[in-house]
């Protein structure tokens, strides 16, 4: 099943093209590594797919419908996006989780998360005591793992991951990438400068270049 289709999109900021006549397709359960040098447009591509930016030319389709103002909200309800930005909020970690699950689009998951949260904390090596800490007290790696768990608690199967293992040690990088790239039901688009690929994964490389 085709989930995303990008058709000849161009995006320009001032006199610089970050994407030019760019096309690709994402099918259900694909695992795609978006690669290329810094500033080439990798994060901009995520922002275009989520409707935070609009292409100057070309079209984007989600589940065979062209992206529109109405369709954007459907996309955002189905996609879990984890940004590279470590400024994930303020206050207690437990409050951060609760606030996310209280949004209208997520509230149906609220009663299903306790056991899953406990499992994910163990998997990603976070102590339960972090729930009572303020986000400002956490290390970069702890914030990344909290953001990842927060996204997973939404119960979605489509993930946009932007450098989500950059602050982790090698062991935890592998744990995170194994989890997403070996999951049979996940559709994953990820930006990462890590060369590690799980043995059982089938990852497609989508390379952005200056001549796109």
Separation of alpha carbons 31 and 181, rounded Å: 6
Lowest mean pLDDT among 90-94, 127-131, 191-195: 191-195
Helix (H) or strand (E) segment spanning residue 197: none
Percent with pLDDT over 70 in the chain: 95
Report the C-alpha gap between 99 and 106 in whole angstroms. 10
Higher pLDDT, 98 or 180: 180
| Alpha-carbon distance values, 212 to 34, 37, 56 (Å) | 14, 13, 15
| Other residues' Cβ atoms within 10 Å of the Cβ of residue 29 | 16
Angle between helix 93-101 and helix 140-152 axes, rounded to 10 deg: 30
Q: Taking the model in full, what pTM does it have? A: 0.91
Residue 110 pLDDT grade (very low, low, confident, very high; cuts 50, 70, 90): low
Distance (Å, whole) CA 56 – CA 158:
25
Torsion from C-alpha of 142, 143, 148, 152, nearest 10 degrees: 100
- Element housing 11 (H / E): strand 2-13
Angle between helices 113-123 and 140-152 (to 10 degrees): 140
CA distance 14 to 17: 8
CATH number of 2-207: 3.40.50.300
Residue-level pLDDT at 131: 94
Give CA–CA dist 184/70, Å, rounded. 30
Is residue 105's pLDDT more than 70? no
Mean local confidence (pLDDT), 157-179:
95
d(CA 205, CA 151): 23
Residue 87 has pLDDT above 70, yes or no: yes
The pLDDT score that the predictor gives to residue 102 is 75
| Residue that is written with structure tokens 């299903």 in the block | 112
111 pLDDT band, cuts 50/70/90, is low
pLDDT for 54: 94
Average pLDDT over every residue of 170-181: 95
The answer on pLDDT for 103 being more than 80 is no
pLDDT at 100 (0 to 100): 83
Domain ranges of the chain: 2-207
pLDDT at site 55: 95
Query: Using an 8 Å Cβ cutoff, are 204 and 32 in contact?
Result: yes
- Output phi, psi for 140, to 5 deg: -60, -40
**Confidence band (pLDDT; 50, 70, 90) for 122?**
very high
Please give the pLDDT value at position 212. Answer: 41
Q: How many CB atoms lie within 10 A of CB 59?
A: 13
Q: What is the mean pLDDT of residues 134-155?
A: 94
- Which pair of tokens denotes residue 27? 């099918």
């Amino acid at each position: 099943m085709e989930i995303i289709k990008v058709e000849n999109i161009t995006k320009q900021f001032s006199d610089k093209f970050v994407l030019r006549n760019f096309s690709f397709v994402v099918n259900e359960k694909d695992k795609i590594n978006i690669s290329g040098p810094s500033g080439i447009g990798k994060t901009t591509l995520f922002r275009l797919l989520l409707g935070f930016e609009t292409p100057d030319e070309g079209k984007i389709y989600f589940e065979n419908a062209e992206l529109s103002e109405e369709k954007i909200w459907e996309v955002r309800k189905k996609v879990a996006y984890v940004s590279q930005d470590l400024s994930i909020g303020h206050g207690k970690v437990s409050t951060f989780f609760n606030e996310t699950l209280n949004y209208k689009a997520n509230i149906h998951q609220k009663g299903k998360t306790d056991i899953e949260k406990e499992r994910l904390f163990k998997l990603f090596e976070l102590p339960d005591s972090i729930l009572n800490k303020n986000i400002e007290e956490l290390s970069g790696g702890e914030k990344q793992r909290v953001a990842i768990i927060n996204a997973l608690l939404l119960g979605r199967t489509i993930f946009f991951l932007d450098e989500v293992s950059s602050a982790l040690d090698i062991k935890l990088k592998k744990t995170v990438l194994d989890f997403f790239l070996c999951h049979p039901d996940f559709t994953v688009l990820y930006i990462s400068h890590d060369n590690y690929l799980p043995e059982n994964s089938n990852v497609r490389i989508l390379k952005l270049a200056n001549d796109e």
